Amino acid sequence: MVFIRFFIPFMVLTFVVHRAFSADLQVLTEHFPPYQIVDVNDNVSGFSADIVNKMLNRAGYPATTTILPWARAYEVAKSQPNTILYSVYRTPEREKQFHWLGRLTTVETQIYVSVHAKAVQISSLHEAQKYNAVAVRKSATAEDLREMGFIENVNLLLVNDYQSVWTILNHGRADFTYSEPPNPILLSSTGINIDDFTALSFYSKKRNLYVAASLDTDPNIVDSLTKSLAQVTAETSL
């Protein structure tokens, strides 16, 4: 009877503590098809979203996902505890800014121009600097463009989301973007077709999208989610 009296309160305490961690966990993402697809009711689906939801459920940390513009989501995830961010490129500049829970997928980024912009003739990164680029603020591709020598408000226009990138490029307000391929779901409400753009073959980069956690995330949560994500991705790849 002594063991039972001790064990039951212990189980209740463990459950309460676990639920307390769960309630404090926030998940941030953006509309980024096909990886995260946000509908009009802010419901999130897509390849990455499905994996992240399975990770959270398996680890016992159900959480509500908040949709934010990428720049804001990125800054919040760097500054607030117990915060999960996806899908985020793992770059050398970002390496020490997050706990990296695990890889989601590999994506290729290239330079894209409008097929209607006949005057834009780019065959090298050096030539590209003669033109105006557009990218999402705080994105990895915007960081790349800065490293190439592009300067905001000089030859680099930074915007809040990917839909704006393609709209601006299509309207001729920028000459090119360095990005993932245009996605028909992303462009569905704009009247723009993915065939309105073409990739230039002289430059591309492949890198991995990850799930990340803020540095102040509880170590127990980081460990649990890392293990859970590894299990989910292993099953997904079968």
State the pTM of this model: 0.87
Residue 17's pLDDT is what? 42
Residue type for position 133: A
Residue 54's pLDDT is what? 96
Are the beta carbons of 196 and 116 closer than 8 angstroms? yes
Residue 21's pLDDT is what? 42
Tokens 């995330």 sit at which residue?
217
β-strand 176-179 against 133-136: which pairing, if any? parallel
- pLDDT reading at 11 higher than 60: no
Tens of pLDDT along 24-62? 899 999 999 999 999 999 999 999 999 999 999 999 998
Give the Cα separation of 26 and 51 in Å (integer).
Answer: 16
Confidence category of residue 18, pLDDT binned at 50, 70, 90: very low
Are the beta carbons of 164 and 158 closer than 8 angstroms? no
**60: Cα within 13 Å, side-chain hemisphere:** 12
Q: Whole-number mean pLDDT of the chain?
A: 91
- Give the C-alpha distances (Å, rounded to integers) separating 123 from 12, 149, 155, 179, 228: 65, 16, 17, 17, 44
Are the beta carbons of 113 and 57 closer than 8 angstroms? no
Q: Hey, what domains does the chain have and what are their CATH numbers?
A: 2-105+209-236 (3.40.190.10), 107-207 (3.40.190.10)
Are the beta carbons of 134 and 157 closer than 8 angstroms? yes
- pLDDT reading at 220 higher than 60: yes
The mean pLDDT value for 210-228 works out to 97
- pLDDT reading at 2 higher than 80: no
Residue 238's pLDDT is what? 56
DSSP string for residues in 134-155? EEETT-HHHHHHHHTT--BTTT
Residue 236's pLDDT is what? 83
Give the Cα separation of 172 and 193 in Å (integer).
Answer: 15
Alpha helices in the chain (DSSP H): 2-24, 47-59, 70-79, 125-128, 140-147, 162-170, 184-187, 219-236
Tens of pLDDT along 82-126? 999 999 999 999 999 999 999 999 999 999 999 999 999 999 999
